[in-house]
Amino acid sequence: MSSNEELKNMLIDFHLLRKLVVGIGEVSEITHVPTRQIRYWEEKGIIHSSKETEGTTRKYDYLSVKKILLIKELLDDGYTLDAAAKKVEHRMKNIDEAFMKLAQQSSDENNK
Amino acid sequence: MSSNEELKNMLIDFHLLRKLVVGIGEVSEITHVPTRQIRYWEEKGIIHSSKETEGTTRKYDYLSVKKILLIKELLDDGYTLDAAAKKVEHRMKNIDEAFMKLAQQSSDENNK
DNA sequence: ACATACATTGTAACAAAACTACAATTAATG
DNA sequence: CATTAATTGTAGTTTTGTTACAATGTATGT
């Protein structure tokens, strides 16, 4: 198998990527947002973790971490939390769509 | 910004992907390999976690989880652990390279 | 069969990470 | 300065992960 084919089949394995969910401590290190603050945003309904549907400890997927990063950026720029959340909500919609589309593609390729 | 540009800039953010490291329990759920067995493989030097370089608790990145998945597949096919490890080592080399290449690309694009 | 190396599994006692549910503090705004 | 928004602190508890022992299973050669 050529390196290029490998690349296409392998990068990215969206099904695996979906399952790569990280703990709140890790998210905090990645984003530089304190765990306490992450929980607070979640409490306000701005972000979501796996806790809401399963289990007892929060786990965040790729898109959630990305969302936290975006919100933090806007906060640092002077936005209020609600304004930042609203703006990011809009951006995430595009990202989510693209993500789903690629996940679908990779699923098609594996089943053809 | 068009959805397509978004897609290119956003999917995939390799720098973020690199940092998405998951705990051993999560890996176990994803791969269906018991935590005890994962630690054993690590003890044998077949796989690696962040524990070897930092911290006290094991964290596994995307490529490590992929490696575990590949090894498990071969084991289920009847390979011995060492044989499976050797074979996977070879495959992972290609995957690692492709990964680094793409990470480099995405880094270039963000700085041009 | 049985010795040998390979591979996995069990678990007790302990440490680290994450949880909730309170409350306190610190901006920002009318 | 009262009010809402946003963040932060923390005690006590639960969950998850750790090591370091040992035991058990499985395959191979003789």
For B104 and D19, how far is CA from C1' in angstroms?
39
Interface test with A, best of B20, B22, B33 (most A CBs within 10 A): B20
Per-residue pLDDT at A65 exceeds 50: yes
Query: Which DSSP letter does residue A52 get?
Result: G
Nucleotide minimizing C1' to CA distance for residue A81 = D6
Residues 6+ apart with CB under 8 A from B14: B99, B102, B103, B106, B107
Nearest Cα to A43, choosing from A28, A58, A61? Answer: A58
Nearest Cα to A29, choosing from B107, B64, B16? Answer: B16
Interface test with B, best of A2, A11, A18 (most B CBs within 10 A): A11
Task: Supply the mean pLDDT for chain A.
Answer: 87
| Of B3, B62, B94, Cβ closest to residue A98 | B3
Q: How far apart are CA A5 and CA A31, in angstroms?
A: 33
CB contact under 8 A, B20 and A22: yes
Protein-proximal positions, strand D, CB < 7 A: 5-10, 14-19
pLDDT in tens, A82-103: 999 999 999 999 888 888 887 7
In this prediction the pTM is 0.89
Q: Report pLDDT for B7.
A: 46
Strands B59-60 and B22-23: antiparallel
pLDDT in tens, B68-96: 999 999 999 999 999 999 999 999 998 88
Q: In chain A, how long is the greatest CA-to-CA distance?
A: 51
* CB-based contact A71:A90 (threshold 8 Å): no
Strand C-contacting residues in A 32-71, CB cut-off 7 angstroms: 35, 39, 49, 51, 56-58
What's the burial of B45, exposed, middle or buried (CB within 10 Å: 0-12/13-18/19+)? Answer: exposed
Q: How far apart are CA A93 and CA B31, in angstroms?
A: 30
* CB-based contact B21:B59 (threshold 8 Å): yes
pLDDT in tens, A24-60: 999 999 999 999 999 999 999 999 999 878 889 999 9
Q: Report pLDDT for B3.
A: 45
For B108 and D18, how far is CA from C1' in angstroms?
40
